[in-house]
């Protein structure tokens, strides 16, 4: 009998705001035992307290995904609390990373985006593998990794070069991770949200939102909660034979 997320211990990075917070709230409603991390410690504590007031089992662990020592120390502390059943790699640098052409883009900003969005995601995953690994043929549910990519990497959003490149790397890394980790009983998938109204995208000009609205099969603005169901499915036992896949969740957006 498949049991969804009840009692499963799931780490969600970048959980203080936006997509991460929404995923945490949805997972808590399904009975997951949550480990929430972020660099924004005060906001993270507020999210955790709000969830605890609703009866959720929540731990918090500050982590700077751009710093290898911070990642290693945070993951060691998380591991001291036991194994993980799921990891949602949501943390990323998305604020104020666009607007310049590829000719004018700041190399220092490029390096920072890659350090957090690509290298950091890899390092978090690397440290989480011992906590997720299990015998693939032991009859127990598989562990799950869900990586947050972006549909900007599917249509090549302009004036956003580093972010687009970083999310394209996440898609490629997901497929490679799935191949390497399958024998350890770990499924790895990615979702590609569209432009979503949240704190990280407050700087995005109105014309970009209009561009998305015009290209969506579902003519609506995307909200953080629109990806929750897909993430929960990929974390649950219902997706035990799904790995190495990318699922766009963007209202049917097609660039035109």
The residues annotated with a catalytic role in the active site are 163
Distance CA 123, CA 95 (A): 21
- Tally DSSP H helices, then E strands, for the chain: 9, 7
Distance CA 212, CA 244 (A): 27
Distance CA 166, CA 39 (A): 19
């Amino acid at each position: 009998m498949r049991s969804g997320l009840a009692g499963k211990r799931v780490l969600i990075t970048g959980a203080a705001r936006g997509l991460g917070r929404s995923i945490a709230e949805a997972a808590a409603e399904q009975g997951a035992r949550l480990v929430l991390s972020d660099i924004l410690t005060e906001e993270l504590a507020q999210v955790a307290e709000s969830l605890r007031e609703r009866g959720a089992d929540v731990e918090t662990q500050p982590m700077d995904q751009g710093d290898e020592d911070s990642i290693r120390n945070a993951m060691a502390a998380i591991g001291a609390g036991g194994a993980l059943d799921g990891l949602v790699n949501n943390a990323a640098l998305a604020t104020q990373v666009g607007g310049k052409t590829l000719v004018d883009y700041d190399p220092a900003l490029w390096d920072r985006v890659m350090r957090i969005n690509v290298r950091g995601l890899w390092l978090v995953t690397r440290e989480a593998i011992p906590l997720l690994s299990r015998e693939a043929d032991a009859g127990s549910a598989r562990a799950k990794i869900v990586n947050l990519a972006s549909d900007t990497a599917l249509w090549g959003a302009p004036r956003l070069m580093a972010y687009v490149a970083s999310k394209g790397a996440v898609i490629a890394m997901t497929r490679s991770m799935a191949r390497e980790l399958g024998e350890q009983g770990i499924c790895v998938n990615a979702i590609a949200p569209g432009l979503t109204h949240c704190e990280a995208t407050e700087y995005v000009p109105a014309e970009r939102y209009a561009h998305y609205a015009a290209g969506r099969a579902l003519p609506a603005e995307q909200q953080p909660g629109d990806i929750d169901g897909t993430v929960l499915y990929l974390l649950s036992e219902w997706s035990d034979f799904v790995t190495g896949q990318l699922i766009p969740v963007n209202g049917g957006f097609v660039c035109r």
